[in-house]
Structure 1
Amino acid sequence: MIDSLGQIPVAPPNFKSGFVGLIGRPNVGKSTLMNELIGEKVAITSPVAQTTRNRLRGILTTETAQMIFVDTPGIHKPHHELGKVIVKNAQSTIEAVDLILLVVDASSPAGGGDRYIVELLKKSKVPVLVGLNKSDLGNEEKRGKNLATYRELLKDQPWELIQFSALTGVGLDSLQEKLRERLEIGPYYYPPDLVSDQPERLVMAELIREQILRETREEIPHSVAIIIDQITEEKNLTTIRATINVERASQKGILIGKKGTMLKKIGTAARAEMQKIIAGKVYLELFVRVQAKWRESARQVAEFGYFQEN
């Protein structure tokens, strides 16, 4: 049954819905988890820590529920203006969702970062589940010892612990059901076939940044910001022009590479990802510009699309 807008169905009886915040330290697998639960790529993933910068929403709709996952940047100690904005947005998510999934890396013992986040969550009235990601890594003895550290950390909390692997998919069906059980009866917030509410320009910029992180690793860690300058749509062809902003001339040289080989490699890989979600062919043109110390400037951080969300 479709509502008067002709887009969003009226939810059936006992249908559940709500917003689920994915909270955790950097690089614990939150983005990979969201992509696997939804079944499509919504957030970029990378072996580099602190990949996620924006508060991304991925939408999973089943016959009995609609879960809107809010993938947050990893909570860490900020070292510049950009870091402050990122962490503030992650922390503000805690009070803006219906349910929190605290994601931890079960292949390592609980650490100071986990304790810090637990203390933040203890102050909240939002229900919490604890997801032990990467629970399949290591031998049985190591897994048992790591699990014991998380049980000790959470011994005074009524939070249920759920083990799974976002990479292999093991345990995700059980996790999804546990999340559904804890949501309230509610409406469809989005059309059932929608998997994300992110603006097109943000998605395109993130796909470019993902390839930069993958190809340059430690050489260009997090001092890059992508601006989509223009998107032109014609029949069977979408032309995208984007500027990659870095902080130093040496970083510009690395990104361009000898005779432009690195920039071409990044562009080819990003274009392939774009064509998975854009109908027709994509022509991608990339430019590189130096913006010295942009992460330390509140004005430039905002200009590049990173601002504190409400």
Structure 2
Amino acid sequence: MTEQNERNEPQTAGVAQGEADGPTRSGFVTFVGRPNVGKSTLTNALVGEKIAITSEKPQTTRRAIRGILNRPDGQLVIVDTPGIHKPRTLLGERLNDLVEQVLGDVDVIGFCVPATEKIGPGDRRIAASLDGYARAKKVAIVTKTDAADKDQIIERLMEVDSLREDWAAVIPLSALTSEQLDVLSDEMLRLMPVGPRLYDEGIVTDESTEDRIAEMIREAALEGVRDELPHSIAVVIDDIAAREDSDLTDVYASIVVERDSQKAIIIGRKGARLRDVGAVARAGIEELLGTRVFLKLHVKVVKEWQRDPKQLGRLGF
């Protein structure tokens, strides 16, 4: 299930040497698959730090988030993207366009399917669409093996292996238990082109602090909501300021929804739910900033923002 690419053959001249034997390899990888197959969880597990929010809600990821895995023999830049889906809004169309752009630029594409679910039409469609990205090597990944039994894993491996003939590898793993993560990172780095590191060592993401805080708040707001509300939630950071003569940082943020009824759900009875969102988000923000945090959340309604080009631009999409 493994093949060697001509451009990945070791070179003997003009190659920077890593700490390990052999040339240094660096490049970009992204994971694709239906929404909620574990792409963000896998990204965080490989990087060793939470850089992408996770949720059971589909289409949680809305931006291309880069995580950097540093190895003695090279560097993997992992680009976490939204799940490929049938768009129902302008936002959905833009998210799919973002995925296509990333797929055209990366060196390796990891196609993910969960061990707990049979291969379906959506999986087949996405696997077939990889024909459009001839430049990238393809690796099939069976995720969530910790939640599946042996027979399920074997069945899924056989199903995914039959989807394409050009898999460079087919790898089962669990991001939660870290089982086989080293096998995946070894294989992906082997497939990368020879070249220097793309980021300085010690950097785990190029996400701004503002963006990471906004995502922490959105992750907290997603918990416990149902129906269409998860898709209607966006977060804008209004201000971040360290207080003078104090280790306290003030963070002011707006949670944006599309309807008054959604605003009521986010706030909850007598503000109880919004307080819970703030408490959960604040803990993560304090860990990120290394200071105590005063977090002030405001909920505002922006009608049909997912379908409004101007509002999408203001919200960063």
- Per the normalisation by structure 2, the TM-score is 0.89
Q: Percent of aligned positions with the same letter in both sequences?
A: 39
Aligned partner of 1:98 in structure 2 is 107
Between 1:61-70 and 1:213-222, the stretch displaced more is: 213-222
User: Alpha carbons of 1:87 and 1:219: their partners in 2 closer, same or farther (altered >3 Å)?
Assistant: closer
1:21 equivalent in alignment to 2:30: yes
Aligned partner of 1:243 in structure 2 is 254
Instruction: Give the alignment's Cα RMSD to 1 decimal.
Output: 1.6
| Separation (CA, whole Å) in 1 of partners of 2:86 and 2:143 | 22
Stretches of structure 2 that go unaligned for 5 or more consecutive residues are: 1-15
1:286 equivalent in alignment to 2:294: no
Do 2:108 and 2:138's aligned partners in 1 also have CA atoms closer than 8 Å?
Answer: yes
Residue 157 of structure 1 and its aligned partner are, at CA, apart by 2.8
User: Alpha carbons of 1:217 and 1:168: their partners in 2 closer, same or farther (altered >3 Å)?
Assistant: farther
1:257 corresponds, among 229, 250, 268, to 268
- 1:155-234 alignment to 2 at 5 Å? 156-218=165-227, 220-234=229-243
Aligned partner of 1:40 in structure 2 is 49
Residue 31 of structure 1 and its aligned partner are, at CA, apart by 0.4
Equivalent position SS for 2:69: strand
| Separation (CA, whole Å) in 1 of partners of 2:23 and 2:226 | 47
Do 1:137 and 1:143's aligned partners in 2 also have CA atoms closer than 8 Å?
Answer: no
Aligned partner of 1:144 in structure 2 is 154
Matched residue type, 2:272? T
Stretches of structure 1 that go unaligned for 5 or more consecutive residues are: 1-9
| Separation (CA, whole Å) in 2 of partners of 1:104 and 1:195 | 25
Residue 138 of structure 1 and its aligned partner are, at CA, apart by 3.0
Between 1:226-235 and 1:29-38, the stretch displaced more is: 226-235
| Separation (CA, whole Å) in 2 of partners of 1:133 and 1:225 | 28
| Separation (CA, whole Å) in 2 of partners of 1:161 and 1:94 | 19
2:279 corresponds, among 258, 265, 268, to 268
1:120 equivalent in alignment to 2:135: no
Residue 275 of structure 1 and its aligned partner are, at CA, apart by 1.1
Do 2:115 and 2:148's aligned partners in 1 also have CA atoms closer than 8 Å?
Answer: no
Residue 219 of structure 1 and its aligned partner are, at CA, apart by 6.7
Equivalent position SS for 1:142: helix
Do 1:11 and 1:186's aligned partners in 2 also have CA atoms closer than 8 Å?
Answer: no
Aligned partner of 1:3 in structure 2 is none
| Separation (CA, whole Å) in 2 of partners of 1:24 and 1:14 | 31
| Separation (CA, whole Å) in 1 of partners of 2:182 and 2:108 | 18
Do 1:11 and 1:188's aligned partners in 2 also have CA atoms closer than 8 Å?
Answer: no
Residue 217 of structure 1 and its aligned partner are, at CA, apart by 4.2
Equivalent position SS for 2:72: coil
Q: CA offsets per residue over residues 220-275 of structure 1, 9 Å max, x none?
A: 22101111111112352221101111011111111111111111100110010111
| Separation (CA, whole Å) in 2 of partners of 1:11 and 1:24 | 35
Aligned partner of 2:72 in structure 1 is 63
Count of aligned residue pairs for this structure pair: 296
User: Alpha carbons of 1:113 and 1:159: their partners in 2 closer, same or farther (altered >3 Å)?
Assistant: farther
